[in-house]
Amino acid sequence: MDLSDLDWLQRFPPLSDLAPNERAPLIGGAVAMQLPAGATVFAPDQPCGYFIMVCEGQVRVYQLDADGNEIVLYRLGPGSMCILTTLALLADTHYSAFAVTETPVHAIGLPAATFHDLIGRSARFRSFVFNAQAARMADLMRVIQHVAFASIESRLAARLLALAANGHDVAITHQQLAAEIGSAREVVSRQLKCFEKRGWVSLGRGRVELRNAAPLRAAAQPAR
C-alpha cells in the first residue's frame, strides 16, 4: 500500500477533509500494515500499540469461554475500526480478546502517541473515533442480547441466512457455526439435524445447503 498516494483516506470519509494541521500528523504517523490470512492481529493481555483502521480484507474478533469454545464478537471489514483497540488505547489497558485475519488484510496503524495527539487536537478526529465506537458498541450489544435471550434455533437460523446471503450453500463446519452463535458444537449439530429432518437444510462435510429459506426466516425472528 502506497502511503504517499493517500487513497486510503477515501475509505474513511470523515478524515479526508481534515484541516492541514490535523492531516499532517495523521499522514506522518500512519504505518501501512499488510497481513496474510490466518495472522494473529492481537491476543489477550497484549499491549495495544496502534489504532488500526482496516482498508481491505476481514478480521474476526473473538473470545474463548472456560471450556475453550470460541464465540465471535464481531468482524472488521473495509472502513472499520476495532472497539477493543479504541478502549485499550483510551484506558491504557491490554487487549481482552483475540483478533485473526480471515483474508489478506491491508490496514493503517496509527501509533498510540499519534492517536492520543489527534484525539486531543482534532474535534473531527474525535468525532470520527467516537461515532465509530458507538456504532460498533451497538453491534456488540446486539450480539450479547442475541446470545443471552434468543433460542439456539433462532440464532442458528439467523446466522445461516446471513452467511448464505449471496447463495444457498454455506461452506462452514459445525464447530465454526458454534463459534458464530456462541454455542457448543454438539448443540449446533443436534439443531442442524433437526433442520435437516424438517427439510430446511441439507448437510454435507464442511457445508450446509439451505433447502427452504422461508421457515428458517420465520425461526430467525425473535420471540415476542
Domain spanning 8-121: CATH superfamily: Jelly Rolls (2.60.120.10)
Alpha-carbon distance of 83 to 101, in angstroms, equals 16
Considering the entire predicted model, what is its pTM?
Answer: 0.74
- CATH 1.10.10.10 in the chain is located at 146-220
For each of the chain's 224 residues, which pLDDT tens digit applies? 554 445 788 889 888 888 888 989 998 999 999 999 999 999 999 999 999 999 999 999 998 887 778 888 888 999 988 989 999 999 999 999 999 999 999 999 999 999 999 999 999 999 999 998 888 787 778 777 777 777 889 989 988 998 886 678 899 999 999 888 888 889 999 999 999 999 999 999 999 999 999 999 999 886 55
Question: Per CATH, which fold does 146-220 belong to?
Answer: Arc Repressor Mutant, subunit A (1.10.10)
- CATH 2.60.120.10 in the chain is located at 8-121
